[in-house]
Amino acid sequence: MAVRINKYLSEAGICSRREADRMLEQGRISIDGIPALPGQKVEDGQCVTVDGKPVHKEEEEIFLAFYKPRGIVCTTADSENGEKIVNVIDYINYPKRVYPVGRLDQNSEGLLLLTNQGEMMEKILRSRYGHEKEYFVRVNRKITPEFLKKMSEGVEILDTVTKPCKVWQEDDRSFHIILTQGLNRQIRRMCDALDYRVTMLRRDRVLNITLEGLVKGRYRRLSPQEVRELKRICH
């Protein structure tokens, strides 16, 4: 049965549909030796290649939890804006192809999920489902009740107002926050808008997966129970 090329690549564990669309625009994907077009369908028996390498469906499901240190970039590329970078794939050097689920900016640390399951990647990232991500944040000056109230009720950034979220104070300069949306550099922008500067940001949880037991710079396979619960939440 014919399927759209972006879905084919997602189901094969190559990348998310969104990333496939980007690679299509860059001319990196071919079907039977001919550059593929966005929306094109793949028929049974056709040969799909990415950067000249044939795509084979990965049968083994891989789900990793990684404690990303600061300085590591959540991409599969080896450069950004013409500059050499240390990307997460090269850093962990996993023996099979996996991809990061979303991004955690270069100056932040904490939990990053990686998988070869493109469809699950899409489900985890879809903001309309309100999936929770929890962070610990330290700022450059004392936190006030007004700051906590504004952070929890919504802050105007990027021509929108952030969704209400749960925020609680840790000490005079640090707090925890649970987001259900994923705007670009959202927490840093929210703090900036309220005249605070983030000095440390760590993601502690994505849905049911936490940093517990992970050493910075190391990864682990998710347990079968964790994977089952992740799939249940994202169903």
CA atoms within 13 A on the CB side of 213: 8
User: Helices (DSSP H) in the chain: which residue ranges?
Assistant: 5-11, 17-25, 88-92, 118-125, 145-153, 186-193, 224-234
**Are the C-beta atoms of 217 and 168 separated by less than 8 Å?**
no
Question: Active site residue: 21, 44, 105, 204, which one?
Answer: 105
**Are the C-beta atoms of 234 and 129 separated by less than 8 Å?**
yes
Residues facing 137 on adjacent strands: 175, 201
Residue 153 Cα distances to 36, 57, 68, 146, 163, angstroms = 45, 44, 29, 11, 7
Q: Which amino acid would we find at residue 68?
A: K
**105 tagged catalytic:** yes
**Are the C-beta atoms of 154 and 183 separated by less than 8 Å?**
no
The residues carrying an active-site annotation are 105
